[in-house]
Amino acid sequence: MTKPVLIVGGGPAGLSAAHALASAGQKVVMVEKEDRLGGAPILSGYAKLVPSHEWAKDAIGGMVSRVEGNDLVEVHLGTIVDKFDGNPGDFKATLKNGKAIEAGATILTTGFTHFDSVNKPEWGFGTYPDVVTTTQVEQMLSSGAGVKCPSDGREPDRVAILLCVGSRDRQIGREWCSKICCTVSANIAMEIRESLPNCNVYIYYMDIRTFGLYEGDYYWASQEEYKVKYIKARIAEVTSDGKRLLVKGEDTLVKRPISIPFDMVVHAIGMDPNVDNMTISAVFGVDLNKYGYVNKTSTYAHLAETNRPGVFVAGSATGPETIDDSIAQGQAAAMAALNMVRNPVLEAAE
């Protein structure tokens, strides 16, 4: 009987990997540092997901129920892996709560951290209560309370969404594109317009990156069907005139300064490496890339592998990623781990 596969992280990638392994008859031990499974979509209260438009609590909640109800999956919540030793087929992980777990292989699905907008203070977050993040708007929508200005509870007449907050910004050490922000912002803009038909929504952008098949359903649909307005601009600062917020910057199409009042300003926050990645790297003996994400080997030669044999990685632990692609990567990592636990000597030699 093979030893179980250890999965560290209970978000979409980890849930996908656990289900795939259990479906193949493989025992799984899942370790999650939070007090419940689901990762960012559940813990951060996401609303409707891209591209399915399913509510996160239903789509990801269904994945959680499927794993929690499987007898082949053992779940440990509210703890982390403190020590990790051994070789493929014969790993030993010690949890912070003192429990020891034997594993044949390990999959890291430790996810990401939302960019903290306090690191972009000139754009008003932390200074003005009506400057919020996309995550906060998602929570307003998913809770059923509706989109309202935090300062006084009124419904906004005019909302600005600022793209690339914590992405593509060398001044604050974020050189990467976070991949999902443009599409998510267009989706949120449409949801605001749907719930508040009289609210004008503007999206400020450097470039629009609704990659793949999302262009028509999000970029064009938000403009043509929902009348969301797009302004190509460089934002200088977000201030207040005492009554409303002012978004100041340069319209880069016509090369002139602009200052437009809004009731609410939304930061489209990017994806940062997991704040625990330095610890994860040290405990599991895996390398990080230059941006601080878990490094994976060439996809063309290896599947979901890290530099340490028997330790695999999937999802946004490796960099900004969509939920759907994280789920697919979790399944791929499950296949690689399954091969490892059933043929540890052969796989480690390749």
Number of Cβ within a 10 Å radius of residue 213: 9
β partners of residue 85: 92
Number of Cα atoms under 13 Å in the Cβ half of residue 323: 25
Radius of gyration of the chain (CA): 22
pLDDT in tens, 249-299: 999 999 999 999 999 999 999 999 999 999 999 999 999 999 999 999 988
The tokens for 135 are: 């995550």
pLDDT score for 303:
86
The tokens for 15 are: 């849930």
SS3 assignment, position 65: helix
Q: In what order do the strands lie in the sheet with 200-205?
A: 131-133, 264-269, 158-165, 200-205, 229-240, 245-251, 256-262
β partners of residue 30: 7, 75
Buried b (16+ CB within 10 A) or exposed e, 228-252: bebbebebeebeeeeebbbbebeee
Q: What angle do CA 347, 349, 350 make, to 5 degrees?
A: 70
CB 182 within 8 A of CB 208: yes
Tokens 């610890």 belong to residue = 279
pLDDT score for 342:
87
Mean pLDDT in each 10-residue stretch from start to end of the chain (350 residues)? 92 98 98 98 97 96 98 98 96 96 97 96 96 98 96 98 97 95 98 97 96 95 98 97 96 95 98 98 98 92 92 98 97 96 66
Amino acid at 16: S
Q: How far apart are CA 80 and CA 342, in angstroms?
A: 26
Q: How far apart are CA 182 and CA 205, in angstroms?
A: 9
Number of Cβ within a 10 Å radius of residue 38: 23
The DSSP output letter for 103 is E
Please report which residue ranges of the chain form alpha helices under DSSP H. 12-23, 39-43, 56-68, 134-143, 181-195, 214, 221-224, 277-284, 323-342, 344-349
pLDDT score for 302:
84
Q: Where are the beta strands (DSSP E) in 96-150?
A: 100-103, 105-108, 112-114, 131-133
CA distances from 158 to 155, 174, 192, 325 (A): 9, 29, 10, 34
Contacts 24+ apart (CB under 8 A), 242-246: 244/158, 245/124, 245/128, 245/130, 245/131, 245/160
pLDDT in tens, 111-163: 999 999 999 999 999 999 999 999 999 999 999 999 999 999 999 999 999 99
pLDDT score for 344:
67
pTM score, whole prediction: 0.95
Q: How far apart are CA 45 and CA 201, in angstroms?
A: 22
pLDDT score for 119:
93
pLDDT averaged over every residue in the chain: 96
Q: How far apart are CA 128 and CA 149, in angstroms?
A: 11
